[in-house]
Structure 1
Amino acid sequence: MMIRLTAVSACALLSLAACGRDDRPAAQAPTDAAPVAMTPAEQPPSAPAADPNTLTSEGLGAARIGMSKADLIAAWGERANPKSVGGAEPEVCDQFHPVRAPEGVNVMIQDGKLTRITLMRGARIKTDRGFGLGDTAMAIKQAYGGSIFVEPHKYQAAPAEDLFVWARGGSTNYVADPSARGVRYEIGMDGKVSMIHAGDPSIQLVEGCS
């Protein structure tokens, strides 16, 4: 009788243990946790937008040296004067004033890419050093110091001259490296800036596309 009671008690204990056990699978951490949004202070700094009123060796506002003609037209529109001719072979080299470009601003397109931006009569745009049409050659030379290259003007007598400032890839010789970037201040016989060209080696061209 004692043995039977002991066996019954043992079975009862096993049943209670089984009833108290939780056989549900343990919760698992999600494998694809949602990304945690960064606060504004944690966001990586973005590149500053190009100033639409400041000409640099890399471009002017949305017009960037090296961009395609299609991208330039998307930014500044088609040529303002559809009947104008900007070069003997426009498919190779063309110059025009885009309809949405600032006043007095012309562009040069070579082989389908923007290579030069020119400030001419009526332009109120300034370079990144604060110079524009009408400023003196003396002021420009003083501002740039030894980083400026001076060349005689091809068609006008002194004090007419060309002042070159290369941001990269420049030299005292003719520059052919397409990655070079610079600004050329064209000085007239009155000693003042008559035009400004910015871009790749095409800034060296003195007769439009040639």
Structure 2
Amino acid sequence: MKNLLTVSALAVALAACSSEPAPAPGQASEQATEMATASAVPDAAVTEAPTSAPTATPGADANILALEGLADLRIGEPVPAGSSWAERGAQASDACRTVTSPDYPGVYAIVEQGKVRRITVGQRSEVKLVEGIGVGASEADVKKWFAGFRAEPHKYEAAPAKYLTAPNAKSGDPALRFEIGHDGKVSAIHVGTMPALAYVEGCA
């Protein structure tokens, strides 16, 4: 009997020390439900979708010359129907013709047997390789990116003018060829397949 009275007194003391009243039987289950619901709902700031996706700049790669070609003009394929590429007083014959586009000043393409064989980037052009090399770049810049290119004397300019041709050009695959002027800077960039890649005067 003494032990029972001691336990009862201890329970009363603990209840008196509690800072919050014990919840009613129904209230306890209600609070538990509210806590579970709150934890199940994600933070709105985290799950809110962005109002708009990043927009790519149209034509961002339009001025990039690659081994495959320039924009819709592709090495080894016909000139795209309905494109701005066409003969405009440039040399033309049954065997070879050159085409230009008002969208690409300073650029022309050689077409043989109905297919684009070479694209040439010359003066006044803003077209560049993906490495950033364009007309006006130094020979040192070219060699930094393109080591091992074969050097040949330029046909019309004195040294140090030269041609720098990719080592894979003879394989028949699309390749690069640079013209370096007497000032040591790029005067033209050619992309195409042999023998057109090495023509020095348009179709010749």
Range into which the TM-score falls when normalised by the shorter chain: 0.5 to 0.7
Task: Choose which of 75, 85, 107 in structure 1 pairs with 2:83.
Answer: 75
* 1:74 Cα deviation after fit: 2.5
Report 1:20-169 matches (<5 A). 51-69=61-79, 71=80, 73-79=81-87, 81=88, 84-87=89-92, 90-99=93-102, 101-146=103-148, 148-165=149-166, 169=168
Whether contact under 8 Å (1:136, 1:191) holds in the other structure is: yes
Structure 2 gap ranges (5+): 1-58
Larger Rg: 2
Q: Cα gap change, 1:85/1:53 in structure 2, threshold over 3 Å: closer, same or farther? A: closer
Q: Cα gap change, 1:129/1:152 in structure 2, threshold over 3 Å: closer, same or farther? A: same
- TM-score after normalising by structure 2: 0.65
- TM-score after normalising by structure 1: 0.63
Structure 1 gap ranges (5+): 1-48
Q: Aligned residue for 2:197?
A: 203
> Helix, strand or coil: the match of 2:82?
helix
> Helix, strand or coil: the match of 1:142?
helix
* 1:50 Cα deviation after fit: 9.6
Cα shift readout 1:36-70 (whole Å, capped 9, x = no counterpart): xxxxxxxxxxxxx993211012101111101113x
What percent identity do the matched residue pairs reach? 34
Whether contact under 8 Å (2:139, 2:185) holds in the other structure is: yes
Please give the root-mean-square deviation of Cα atoms over the aligned residues, in Å.
2.1
> Helix, strand or coil: the match of 1:145?
coil
